[in-house]
Amino acid sequence: MAKVAAGVEKKPIVTEPSWITRGLQWIVGLPVRAGSWTVAKARAARQFYEDVKLELQKVSWPTWKEVYTQTVVVLIVVFFFGFFLYGTNWVLGYLVSKLFEYAAR
């Protein structure tokens, strides 16, 4: 056994760095991490806007005549349903008030 132990090199035991050393390493590396984060966010924002620009080029935009006619249709439908709901509300309110008058006798 002594022969086996004699052939083995003795290596120094490496200890973990202290919390102070690790903290200082973290502080020293902070500008590098902040810079790389900023660059990554700037690249992501640029890529996003380039993608948006490409997608907007694929959109088929309506003509002014289509926009005008669709706007007129929407306004007519909104006024129709507005008057319809107003009339329905008025009729139902009248009927309910007559029902209450009848029940109060």
Domain layout of the chain by residue ranges: 18-59, 61-105
Rounded-to-integer distance, Cα 77 and Cα 83, Å: 10
pTM: 0.46
The radius of gyration computed from the CA coordinates of the chain, to the nearest angstrom, equals 39
Tell me what the mean pLDDT of segment 48-69 comes to: 95
pLDDT tens track for 84-101: 999 999 999 999 999 999
